[in-house]
Structure 1
Amino acid sequence: MTHPIPIFIGVDPRERAATNVLIDSLTQNSSVPLAITPMVTPQLEKQGLYWRDRDPKQATAFSFSRFLVPKLMGYQGWAIFMDCDMLARGDIAELWALRDDQHAVMCVQHMHEPNDTVKFLGEPQTPYPKKNWSSLMLLNCSRCRALTPEYINRATGLELHRFHWLAGDHEIGEIPGGWNHLVAVQDPAKAEESPLLHWTLGGPWFREQRTMGEGLAAEWFAARDDAFRLWD
């Protein structure tokens, strides 16, 4: 029997609608069982795993807590981390099949250089190398032992998101770009075949961004309506 794929989703309390739609889209499109864990910051704090103060450059509640996934896995096996502002169109088992033991982490290696200084709800938009690489990660947890709670709670944001906790970039494997398509950032034509959409600038669950991505926003609303449809 196939073991459930462990998936950890970073949750921000302002994006609960996005989280629920993402979970439904993952389960509806998956060919195998999934073990989905929403990463809720107050829960991690109560467990003594997360205690750092909010950073002024931190856009979401899970900006840094995402790196606790290897700890939550007991530093064993593989796991997927993903931001909550995503929508699955494809079978996540196909992403899972890409894991390669020669790497400690695998991700879509974007070249995202934002021009704006703010994004959703006025949150800061901070440019840095490897931006958005950590928004979707296949983590080889036994090779991520440097990610202790102590390190995560004292390291800078750049040290975490630029993977300074690895021996070098040779430990980072590449995932095809369609598995983390940045809505309203990348060429819309590339979204047509993308199995996973990512509203990194803010999505249609925010009133002022209801049309973000145009047709892709309509697709998100259709997924929402399907997830919460009442049956006779």
Structure 2
Amino acid sequence: MIDKITLTVGFDQRESIAFHVFCQSVIDKATKPVQFIPLAENISGLYKETHTDGSNQFIYSRFLTPYLMNFDGWAIFADGDMVCMADIAELWSLKDESKAVCVVQHDYKTKAARKYLGNINQDYPRKNWSSLILWNCSHPANQILTPEFISSKPGSFLHRFSWLSDDLIGNLDPQWNWLAIEYEENPQAKLVHYTLGTPCFKDYANESMSQYWHDVNSRVNEGFDF
């Protein structure tokens, strides 16, 4: 059986290019087959968004990943506003069967009161933990994550992984979810996360670590004569 990597990726039409750039960055460096599942609003009738908060259109659908996998095997969820700078198979190799999820356990205060498209950027416990998730979809603790359950829970419960005990949350190296602008420049980062704003937005086009995104974007457009 081929060991392929399943990657669910947040998709928001307002920054659709970000999704394509992220996927390109993964493809460029991957040494294992990768299957991408875009978490767009219209891809399935199995979940209707009832939450009224959130700065993007996949803020809650990320928690459907185990359900979409039929609660079997492993998958990675990633926000679309990222660039992968390393082989995604390296992240895949960090699977820990004793954990329900593995995440970068950020502990920081934001530098910006607002982020892209004027969205309020609040501090809260476990901020950005859910922006990159290595999911153990088979873990019994994750089988509670049905569309009905996710619809019924507030964002604070879901993004803090409150259905899990702390010992079921594995800790990944911060290099796998390096927050551009919020953290210092880091050429060693394995995955750069433009959490305040993807460089596709003019306000963030020339911010810290934006060149990595622009370099991959040029690859997306390679061969096109506009």
Q: Same-fold call, TM > 0.5?
A: yes
After TM superposition, what 4+ stretches of structure 1 lie above 4 angstroms from structure 2?
none
What is the CA-CA distance between 1:53 and the residue it aligns to? 4.0
Cα distance in 1 for residues equivalent to 2:224 and 2:116: 34
For these two proteins, the number of residue pairs brought into alignment is 223
What does residue 101 of structure 2 align with?
A: 105
Cα distance in 2 for residues equivalent to 1:95 and 1:135: 14
What does residue 27 of structure 2 align with?
A: 27
What does residue 169 of structure 2 align with?
A: 172
What is the CA-CA distance between 1:128 and the residue it aligns to? 1.0
* AA partner of residue 173 (structure 1): G
Gaps in structure 1 of 5+ consecutive residues: none
* AA partner of residue 66 (structure 2): P
Matched, 1:221 2:211: no
Gaps in structure 2 of 5+ consecutive residues: none
CA contact (8 A) 1:147 1:165 kept: no
* AA partner of residue 215 (structure 2): A
Matched, 1:79 2:72: no
Cα distance in 2 for residues equivalent to 1:78 and 1:62: 20
Cα distance in 1 for residues equivalent to 2:176 and 2:214: 20
SS of equivalent to 1:67: helix
What does residue 153 of structure 1 align with?
A: 151
CA contact (8 A) 1:22 1:87 kept: yes
* AA partner of residue 216 (structure 2): A
What is the CA-CA distance between 1:69 and the residue it aligns to? 0.4
SS of equivalent to 1:145: helix
TM-score (norm 1): 0.92
What does residue 132 of structure 2 align with?
A: 136
Cα distance in 2 for residues equivalent to 1:30 and 1:227: 16
Matched, 1:204 2:199: yes
Cα distance in 1 for residues equivalent to 2:170 and 2:77: 15
Identity among equivalent pairs (%): 37
